[in-house]
Amino acid sequence: MASGHTPQRPLPDAKPTPRSREPRGTELGAPWDSRGPRPTVRAHEVGEPREEAQAQCSSVVDGNFEEVPRETAIQFKPPLYRQRYQFVKNLVDQHEPKKVADLGCGDTSLLRLLKVNPCIELLVGVDINEDKLRWRGDSLAPFMGDFLKPRDLNLTIILYHGSVVERDSRLLGFDLITCIELIEHLDSGDLARFPEVVFGYLSPSMIVISTPNSEFNPLFPSVTLRDSDHKFEWTRMEFQTWALYVANRYDYSVEFTGVGEPPAGAENVGYCTQIGIFQKNGGRATEACVSEQHDQHVYKAVFTTSYPSLQQERFFKLVLVNEVSQQVESLRVSHLPRRKEQDGEQGDKPKDIGGSKAPVPCFGPVFTEVEKAKIENSPKPFCVGDKFFVPLQRLLAYPRLNRLCANEEMMRSVIADSIPLSSDGSAVVTDLCNYFDEQFEF
User: d(Cα 391, Cα 73) in Å, to the nearest integer?
Assistant: 66
How many alpha carbons lie under 13 Å from residue 366 in its C-beta half-sphere? Answer: 0
User: d(Cα 263, Cα 220) in Å, to the nearest integer?
Assistant: 11
DSSP state, 57? T
Cα–Cα distances (Å) from 215 to 8, 210, 244, 272, in that order, read 15, 15, 19, 8
- 46-82 pLDDT per residue, tens: 333 444 433 333 333 444 434 444 445 788 999 999 9
Q: Beta strand pairing status for 122-127 and 99-103?
A: parallel
User: d(Cα 89, Cα 408) in Å, to the nearest integer?
Assistant: 38
- Cβ 378 vs Cβ 402: under 8 Å: no
Residue ranges of the domains in the chain?
19-307, 313-439
CA dihedral (428, 433, 434, 440) positive or negative: positive
**Is cis: bond before 218, omega within 30 of 0?**
no
Q: How many CB atoms lie within 10 A of CB 346?
A: 10
- Cβ 272 vs Cβ 260: under 8 Å: yes
- 215-274 pLDDT per residue, tens: 998 888 776 778 788 999 999 999 999 999 999 999 999 999 999 999 999 999 999 999
Please give the backbone phi and psi of residue 240, each rounded to the nearest 5 degrees, phi first. Answer: -70, -35
- CB-based burial of residue 8 (10 Å sphere; 0-12 exposed, 13-18 middle, 19+ buried)? middle
Which residues have a Cβ under 8 Å from the Cβ of 243 and sit 6 or more positions away?
A: 209, 254, 256, 276, 278
Q: State the alpha helices, DSSP H only, in 292-346.
A: 313-342
Closest CA to 228 of 58, 42, 54: 42
Cα–Cα distances (Å) from 278 to 2, 176, 241, in that order, read 15, 10, 14
Q: What is the DSSP string of 398-418?
A: SHHHHHH-SSHHHHHHHHTTT
Per-residue pLDDT of the chain (442 residues; tens, 9 = 90+): 545 566 665 555 444 433 333 333 333 233 334 344 333 333 333 333 444 433 333 333 444 434 444 445 788 999 999 999 999 999 999 999 999 999 999 999 999 999 999 999 999 999 999 999 999 999 999 999 999 899 999 999 999 999 999 999 999 999 999 999 999 999 999 999 999 999 999 999 999 999 999 999 888 877 677 878 899 999 999 999 999 999 999 999 999 999 999 999 999 999 999 999 999 998 665 444 555 556 789 999 999 999 999 999 999 999 999 999 999 999 998 877 666 666 555 555 555 555 434 454 444 568 899 999 999 999 999 999 889 999 999 999 999 999 999 899 999 999 999 999 999 999 999 998 875 555 555 4
- Cβ 162 vs Cβ 325: under 8 Å: no
- CATH architecture of the domain 19-307 equals 3-Layer(aba) Sandwich (3.40)
